[in-house]
Structure 1
């Protein structure tokens, strides 16, 4: 059946969206962006929020619709019907390899993160199919055959996290889904905008840096432009970034609330007042994209904290909050105000909440610039809408003040919130048309296998690998009677033989033919999104066969408890 849709899901830490293009894949094409439910006017996306029914754990809705339903549930006066999960994506980044990873709903209920992500991706799939068929008269009749799916992940995620995400996408019904790296997708999106393309052609720019600042991470990709038509690029350096984003700004605001509200046990009561606290944080999140004097309503949160016991006394709630603010202002050189149950602040205070994140982002950019000169910096991602971040990047890195005299300027993306989904769709369409947009990448870690005689590096950290490039390796069974061989697969750091920097990420399982002359061989394929291994050789000791017989794709047995077998392991850098 004909491929009719290319779609990409950008499941973000704070906000999410989906992009797609229908059957006509020949340029020019412009991906359509959509979300389950209502889309935010500020971020052009929907909040990352999954609503599930208590007891059955059936997925009910996603995004702004989920938040509205949860609010109505809490205001109904009846026993609650739902759990809501928010900001769950970063649990994969911080999880220990092989550990069972759970995330908590706003009310404290725990669920395995893979289940939350699978349910979310499935709702995205159902929403996209319903939208396309509603607008195009049952256009999609066989989603498995007619849709090519892409799911985005941060570049700084470890291999195990990326492997989990792709496996969960498949289990959610996104068959043959591939991964795209978020900064690379954002770079492709911007290079396909006429304003950026014109500047590149006019100034003959060849090297630039893409800085993607989202909800949970800053991802940095250095791009070398090889051709503009068709677009072909390669990496300048290995993946870079750090855990700085909008969530860190929110965490600092929440920390302020904890210090200011002196009600006994507030920090331990956050689950009991989850709805009220979530409403305050959503209000603050909207403030991050605005300027000038602002205020956040604390009335319902304070009502929930200061219960009926205080209403019968002469207790002065407002006086206590003001006292707490006074102490905070002295400690942090801020001027936060509390009047009529509203917390008031201006740009200076907002910059205080942003400062740690801004410093972290600029530090990551500086480290990347120290490694490679670039002609231009493109800043994108939801948090790039903040003028505090934009002003800091311009102040520190524009040509006038930058040590990098070759830099021509800094560009802010025109559509930072949807760049990742848009670029992923364009990347997928180019593949269908036979153009590999990403020609090569720089590995952030090396890869190797553990053999009887010790560790054997196959590729080194900082190696440049091309799409479709292969590496071959051979070995001899330990005994002639062996019929199978389990080869531990590792990543390593700058020194391949430093045990402290080696990390096992899977096991390569080979079926071999008994015999003293049998050679155990395997070939590694460096694809655009996966590292794939195949058994090879014809069972003889001929180790120089230039056209070895390729057997079916072998399994990599995962170290992760929830994934029993993998056919490939994600390596993208």
Structure 2
């Protein structure tokens, strides 16, 4: 869980320490004013890193998935009485059996919001049938682009199904705002006088997302009307673990004869969150306080349920013929969308020995000639194509084998030696094929837990995470983080700024290091030349186990800048940089060693590009 507090919104810039009414800067206290900006001496530096929490009446959670999305909520009073009393809001009125709806967005030709979820899907099919869809914007399964795009910026554009582009920030904001308004409306009908700021929001994100992707979600949420002080980003597998921990406590309290040792004090377990886009894996231990502590950094990969969909569609294209499929998609897009829906629905219920049968328009079937090499795997009958059980096993094997191998490697790590339980959650974990694979490989040594409604566990856990902001007390760094700048001289942790081209990497957080969110992680002394008015420091990450000294773009990724605005010093000055980390930004306090004056700000993880159109 990543609590997000209100910080200076100066786009990765560090200003002098002031205190004004909006809490973005700090008020003058008997110090000299430099160009209208004032610094002050501060003896308790750690206090400047504390996150300000806004009181709330209720928690609203949004599980924003690659394939499906959902929302839930509970009031503070309900949580105190029964933490598991969580209301889920039905977003899809066309499907009473599910509390989740497809993550699909439809915008008008002018780029205005029209509909979300199954309503958007159905409306787009209708538009396609009327041959009116070309001018509309229809987005689905777009969340994965925040994982696959390695140079993420706030102005990134994405393509809708017809090939038109729009700013990704707007697409995400439209979706978040729609779900947020649904929850707010329900809460306001139930609680007289409830204000928008009385709700604390939790949005789930994959644990394997990088820092830029998480920051992107914060900015999209702000555009949707959720301010930073009212927002918590919660890592999906941690939400699942938190819910199961509370469920185990509840069963123990009521004397149920259920195995709850997996979440007892000191227990260590693995959570495998199998979503539509990614597989997220974390390992944690239960502390005596009931809080969770990560024991190995979050890992995973793009092996989610959508990979299976893509492989099934690819197989159908191979059978039907790519040219025929292209014509089918262009001429009968409504039928093509219905075929995609079938694949998603049927795939979920497949067993290990199941065939997959998909209905295809008869005019397409008439032109299909199955290759001799495919006859034993594919049957074409009136209105249907059937893929054999052996072919379906082969299609599933790539995804399943990849995740099983990854989990096996993780369990061999020294940090996992005491792990006794594997918890499977997420919609993809409902697949009998997935469950069979995990039981065959790990059931002898580990307890395998699969909740009855695995697709709802993350969402309900997100509500609990919102009430207990301190539920996760520590994590492990996935990368090396560090400063990069020209250094004229280095003595221990004292660095003199130089002016040559080569940039040296100075570590802030080491890969695998235990991080306590909000605590100081490092200090450096930066020696500045006389008359310096800015100190520009760049922030980098590297996945290498042993980082190189000199930064290059092959081994390092720039993630932001720290620009410290200074008074014009008349002599050489020394700044003491004190840095803390909360997984969405580095918070920085720069202290003038000679005077004690402080300069405070952040290094945020999302850069902006200029000259981009809205859509």
Q: TM-score range with shorter-chain normalisation?
A: 0.7 to 0.9
2:401 corresponds to 1:359: yes
CA gap of 1:189–1:27, structure 2 versus 1, over 3 A, is same
2:112 corresponds to 1:58: yes
Q: 2:241 aligns with which of 187, 196, 200?
A: 187
Q: 1:201 aligns with which of 261, 264, 273?
A: 261
Q: Is the 8 A contact 1:325 1:337 kept in 2?
A: no
The residue number in structure 2 matching 1:312 is none
The residue number in structure 2 matching 1:571 is none
Deviation at 1:497, TM superposition (A): 2.1
CA gap of 1:39–1:132, structure 2 versus 1, over 3 A, is farther
The residue number in structure 1 matching 2:521 is 471
The residue number in structure 2 matching 1:496 is 547
The residue number in structure 1 matching 2:161 is 106
Q: Is the 8 A contact 1:14 1:215 kept in 2?
A: yes
Deviation at 1:368, TM superposition (A): 1.1
The residue number in structure 1 matching 2:370 is 324
Deviations, residues 157-186 of structure 1 (Å, cap 9, x unaligned)? 122222112111112211122311111111
Deviation at 1:345, TM superposition (A): 4.2
Deviation at 1:255, TM superposition (A): 0.3
Deviation at 1:357, TM superposition (A): 1.1
Deviations, residues 353-379 of structure 1 (Å, cap 9, x unaligned)? 322111111122112111123101000
Q: 2:360 aligns with which of 271, 277, 298?
A: 298
SS in structure 2 of the partner of residue 115 of structure 1: helix
SS in structure 1 of the partner of residue 234 of structure 2: strand
Gaps of 5+ in 2: 1-53, 253-257, 488-503
Distance 1:443 1:480 in 2: 37
Gaps of 5+ in 1: 307-316, 400-404, 543-547, 565-573
The residue number in structure 2 matching 1:460 is 510
Distance 2:214 2:107 in 1: 25
Deviations, residues 534-566 of structure 1 (Å, cap 9, x unaligned)? 3232x2347xxxxx66544345484342799xx
Q: 1:451 aligns with which of 479, 485, 494?
A: 485
2:64 corresponds to 1:19: no
2:320 corresponds to 1:261: yes
Distance 1:365 1:555 in 2: 34
Deviations, residues 404-434 of structure 1 (Å, cap 9, x unaligned)? x4x3x10112221122221111011012xxx
The residue number in structure 2 matching 1:438 is 472
SS in structure 1 of the partner of residue 573 of structure 2: coil
The residue number in structure 2 matching 1:402 is none
Q: 2:171 aligns with which of 98, 110, 116?
A: 116
Distance 2:71 2:233 in 1: 14
- Comparing both chains, which one has the higher relative contact order based on Cα–Cα distances under 8 Å and sequence gaps of 6 or more? 2
Deviation at 1:490, TM superposition (A): 1.0
Distance 2:97 2:119 in 1: 16
Deviation at 1:487, TM superposition (A): 0.5
Q: Is the 8 A contact 2:482 2:508 kept in 1?
A: yes
The residue number in structure 2 matching 1:561 is 609
The residue number in structure 2 matching 1:147 is 199
Distance 1:179 1:202 in 2: 26
Superposition CA RMSD, Å:
2.7
CA gap of 1:561–1:246, structure 2 versus 1, over 3 A, is same
SS in structure 2 of the partner of residue 354 of structure 1: helix
Q: Which moved more, 1:16-25 or 1:236-245?
A: 16-25
Q: Which moved more, 1:368-377 or 1:16-25?
A: 16-25
2:291 corresponds to 1:232: yes
2:262 corresponds to 1:211: no
Deviations, residues 221-261 of structure 1 (Å, cap 9, x unaligned)? 0011113xx52111111111011011100000110111111
The residue number in structure 1 matching 2:216 is 164
Deviation at 1:481, TM superposition (A): 0.5
Deviation at 1:477, TM superposition (A): 4.3
The residue number in structure 2 matching 1:247 is 306
Q: 1:396 aligns with which of 437, 441, 455?
A: 441
CA gap of 1:221–1:103, structure 2 versus 1, over 3 A, is same
Q: Is the 8 A contact 1:518 1:541 kept in 2?
A: yes
SS in structure 1 of the partner of residue 243 of structure 2: helix
The residue number in structure 1 matching 2:126 is 72
Distance 2:573 2:90 in 1: 54
Q: 1:92 aligns with which of 109, 133, 146?
A: 146
Distance 2:298 2:471 in 1: 17
CA gap of 1:43–1:93, structure 2 versus 1, over 3 A, is farther
Q: Which moved more, 1:373-382 or 1:73-82?
A: 73-82
Deviation at 1:101, TM superposition (A): 3.6
CA gap of 1:495–1:269, structure 2 versus 1, over 3 A, is farther
Distance 1:386 1:557 in 2: 36
SS in structure 2 of the partner of residue 96 of structure 1: coil
The residue number in structure 1 matching 2:491 is none
Q: Is the 8 A contact 2:379 2:387 kept in 1?
A: yes
Deviations, residues 14-63 of structure 1 (Å, cap 9, x unaligned)? 11111211241314222222253337566641101001111x11111111
How many pairs were matched up?
520
What TM-score results when the alignment is normalised by the length of structure 1? 0.84
Q: Is the 8 A contact 2:355 2:392 kept in 1?
A: no
What TM-score results when the alignment is normalised by the length of structure 2? 0.78
